[in-house]
Chains A and B, each alone.
Chain A
Amino acid sequence: MEVLEKIFNLALIAATLRTTAPILLVSLGGSFTTKAGIFNIGLEGQMLVGAFFAVLGSIWTGSALGGLAIGVSASVVMAAVFSLLVVTLRANEVVVGLALNILAGGLTISLTKAIFGTRGSIVSGDIVGLPPIDIPMIDYLGRIGRVLSGYTPLVYFAFIMVFVVWLILYRTKLGLYIRVTGEKPEAAEALGIPTARMQHIASLICGVLAGLAGAHLSLGYITMFAENMSSGRGFMAVAVLIFSNGDPLKVLLGCLLFGFSDAASLRLQTFGFSSYLVLMVPYLVTLFVLFALTYRQRPRVIRETLESLSLMRRAGQNGA
């Protein structure tokens, strides 16, 4: 019990909010593509490119904001290539997404070596990270208050975005058109809604959010870039999107679960569990939820009973 208490404390909540932020951002980006009817397996690569170029931009411009801008631009370029191939050229989304992920891995490592002459990671004092925000007066709220203060801006941004994305998807024309494009493109086209353009827009918005997620990885709490540092979070996001169908609130729930399992596993490490086993936890949780929810969503086989059959017969006779 003592162990449990040590794991489940306010620090854990804080850690959960921190680890949730990047996967939440990238998943919310994926909400747009999912709603537009695109299966976007390329989130991982967009995030990785975002993380790399954010570090690069931060060094070049000497400011975190500059890093953010350049990281986001890079992942938007990836998103543009993705939607050009998938939407305009009608290429297979799995193949293109996979290729872009591989491209992102190779490109970031190659450029790391070319620019910094190192393999594996970029660690430098020149990287300007995102400053944490202290909410003024929050101390008056006591311990709870402190849990809500002191995060980098992207953490707040991620949670605010849940509401913003919901608002865009369900209360604006753009969101409506994106949803109709994904759900019933022939209805959209019959009313003159340009479905291809909607898919491009969704993909580019997704690129922006994936880029921010990447920037959070490399400029948020640790200011460095490591090869493949997105480590499957983009794929976890895809899993979240599959079972949430891109609804922002369900996305938030799914991401909190993964953020929590991430944070909890990191704490488990301090109790002497092998770091390898502990690192497996978020992936296993994702897989478990993916399988459990598809099991629940399976089509039910409905058996008619004799009574309902005779009821139907009677109704049929009356109706005729």
Chain B
Amino acid sequence: MTYAIEMQGVTKRFGPLTANSNVAFSVGTGEIHALVGENGAGKTTLMNVLFGLHQPDEGTIRINGETVVMDSPRTAIARGLGMVHQHFKLVPSLTVAENIFLGMEITRNGLIDHKAQSAKVRELSEAFGLHVDPDRRVSELSVGIEQRVEILKVLARGASIVILDEPTAVLTPQESRDLFRILRGFTQKGMTVVFISHHLSEVMEVSDMVTVLRDGKVVGTKATKALSEDELVRMMVGRDVNFARRARRRSEGSPVLTLREICARDDRGLPTLRDISFEVRSGEIVGIVGVDGNGQTELAEVISGLRRPSFGEIVLAGQSVQAADPLTIREAGLAHVPGDRLRRGVDASASIASNILMGRQHKAPFAARGLIRWPYVREQAGKLIRQFDIRASGHKAVVKTLSGGNMQKVVLAREFSQQTPFLLVDQPTRGVDIGAMEGIHDEIMRQRASGAAILLISVQLDEILTLADRILVMFAGRIAGELDPEKTTEDEIGFLMAGRAAAEAKAAS
């Protein structure tokens, strides 16, 4: 058996963090090899090392038997590697053919030969069964077709080893199935495919071999046929999955937030939320889970007043707020931990005290007669720093000098100290280390105990399973199903996240 890729003893550190530790990863020529693991297990880092985007601290890489120093993506491309990133890098105003030939245009008399480019793309696209119209503008394409353009980009550069990073994360089930068909076609032509995933079902469906990463280390490489889904889950998570970590209860409280038939459109005017209805009662945590980009961001924006819904009704603490601005909604009883901490959650160049003040600069006891009572603000900031265990030199510390976890605690401290009946918590532990994560989870549970209604949005399934009393799965801007965390399985959630109907998901698990 010949190997297309052999990585040996690869270690990659980012400061104190070790993303890959002594990883051995080999892929045989002509196989579809799945690289799986939870979020943060080091899959993407490993592939970036392979593709020359990161330099490994230790280890060697061999491509088709030859040792290669991957100093840049150029080297990788020259060696026949091609990478399809999770976030597409296409230029919307250009045509498919222009995007594919960007950087290696075909010219005639100094001018770009659009006809020749289109012809080449058409030829390539038909050869691999991709069916892409080379003359369409990328801005008119669906996500699934955009991905095919990215794949064509790689093929046009002569790749025989194709790496796909979470290729199905943004696809509908049908589009995923088409993708798998295309990938099979590649291997029939003798090409090699590596794809990164954490969707178990598709790994089982399409791959020949599986390598599991956990905490930056290889847990094992096995033939897919020799594995059951349960075994795979154990390899990924490192334990038998046990969801019943705490007592849940159906809240008997009254509804604090009610959404009825909410629809919204994104910045381009395309529907992004479709007919969303649910409620959050006091004393319960409702978890929203879904693959990134299925409308969670827009849902948070709509609830907090940063985006106007195009239809539907939102009632917060008895007040109709679907047409209200953020201030009115906050007055009605919202506290909001935003998903994009650095861009929305803080003023990074200001002190902790100044950040704590936001939203209360007009309110007693933080202000009186329009004037800010700075001594009181500083005193409160000091108190919150102790209460939330924010590691900082004091209330004067500038927020951007803090670590991600401590920055997040500043946001939590500000929002949770407002004693509002409703908390919207979006990705509370994204980019936060384990120690701080537990503190943040405890704080959310304390808020629940004190009777707050909490909507928790997260892409971390673990987090939702740990904290939520009820789980809503979002797919393509819709609520795909509601689940009871005590009875559900990860697979059932996985199926719903992939857009299958609830009954089907139940049957499959």
| Residues of chain A at the chain B interface (Cβ within 8 Å) | 167, 171-173, 176, 179-180, 183-184, 186-188, 190-193, 299-305, 309, 312-313, 316, 320
Contacts and interface: CB of A to CB of B under 8 A. Distances in A.
A167 B111 contact: yes
A309 B275 contact: yes
B275 A184 contact: no
Contacts, number: 74
B152 to A, nearest CB: 14
Contacts of B480: 320
Interface in B84-110: 89-94, 98, 102-103, 105, 107, 110
Contacts of B89: 184, 186-187, 190-191
B16 interface: no
B269 interface: yes
A191 B111 contact: no
B263 A172 contact: no
A309 B261 contact: yes
Contacts of A301: 308, 310
Contact of B91 (A167, A173, A183, A303): A183
Contacts of A316: 274-275, 478
A91 B122 CA distance: 44
B91 A172 contact: no
15 contacts: A172-B112, A176-B105, A179-B91, A180-B102, A183-B91, A184-B89, A187-B90, A190-B73, A192-B103, A303-B310, A303-B311, A312-B271, A313-B275, A316-B274, A320-B500
Given A309-B263, A312-B275, A320-B501, A179 B90 contact: no
A191 B265 contact: no
Contacts of A183: 91-93
Interface string B236-278: 0000000000000000000000000101010101010011000
Contact of B102 (A187, A300, A304, A312): A187
Contacts of B499: 320
Contacts of B90: 184, 187
B478 A172 contact: no
Given A176-B102, A179-B93, A316-B478, A192 B265 contact: no
A306 B271 CA distance: 15
B269 A302 contact: yes
Contacts of B91: 179-180, 183-184, 187
A313 B479 CA distance: 12
Interface residues of B, number: 33
B212 to A, nearest CB: 29
Contacts of B105: 173, 176
Contact of B103 (A172, A179, A191, A302): A191
A304 B478 contact: no
Given A301-B310, A303-B311, 13 more contacts: A171-B112, A172-B111, A176-B94, A176-B98, A180-B102, A183-B91, A183-B93, A186-B89, A187-B89, A187-B102, A191-B89, A301-B308, A309-B261
B234 interface: no
Contacts of B308: 301
Contacts of A305: 311
B74 interface: yes
Contacts of A300: 269
B263 A171 contact: no
Interface string B272-316: 001100000000000000000000000000000000101110000
Contacts of A186: 89
Contacts of A171: 111-112
A312 B112 contact: no
A309 B264 CA distance: 11
A304 B91 CA distance: 30
Contact of A304 (B74, B263, B267): B263
A304 B93 contact: no
Contacts of B98: 176
Contacts of B93: 179, 183
Query: Residue among B92, B102, B310 with the most chain A CB within 10 A?
Result: B102
Given A180-B102, A302-B269, A173 B112 contact: yes
A299 B275 contact: no
A190 B84 CA distance: 12
A309 B276 CA distance: 11
Interface string B107-122: 1001110000000000
A302 B308 CA distance: 10
B274 A192 contact: no
B103 A312 contact: no
Contacts of A180: 91, 94, 102
B369 to A, nearest CB: 37
Given A172-B112, A173-B112, A302 B265 contact: yes
Interface string B442-475: 0000000000000000000000000000000000
B295 to A, nearest CB: 13
B501 A176 contact: no
B310 A304 contact: yes
A97 B261 CA distance: 49
Contacts of A309: 261, 263, 275, 311
Query: Residue among A180, A193, A300 with the most chain B CB within 10 A?
Result: A180
Given A176-B112, A312-B271, A320-B501, A193 B103 contact: yes
Contacts of A187: 89-91, 102
A191 B308 CA distance: 37
Contacts of A312: 263, 271, 274-275
Contacts of B92: 183-184
* Ranked 4 nearest A-B pairs via Cβ: A304-B311, A191-B103, A320-B501, A187-B89
Contacts of A313: 275
A301 B310 CA distance: 7
A186 B89 CA distance: 7
Interface string B61-98: 00000000000011000000000000001111110001
A7 to B, nearest CB: 41
A273 B169 CA distance: 67
A153 B91 CA distance: 38
B142 to A, nearest CB: 14
Nearest to A175: B112
A254 B98 CA distance: 29
A180 B89 CA distance: 11
Contacts of A173: 105, 107, 112
A241 B127 CA distance: 43
A183 B137 CA distance: 14
A304 B110 CA distance: 49
B368 to A, nearest CB: 38
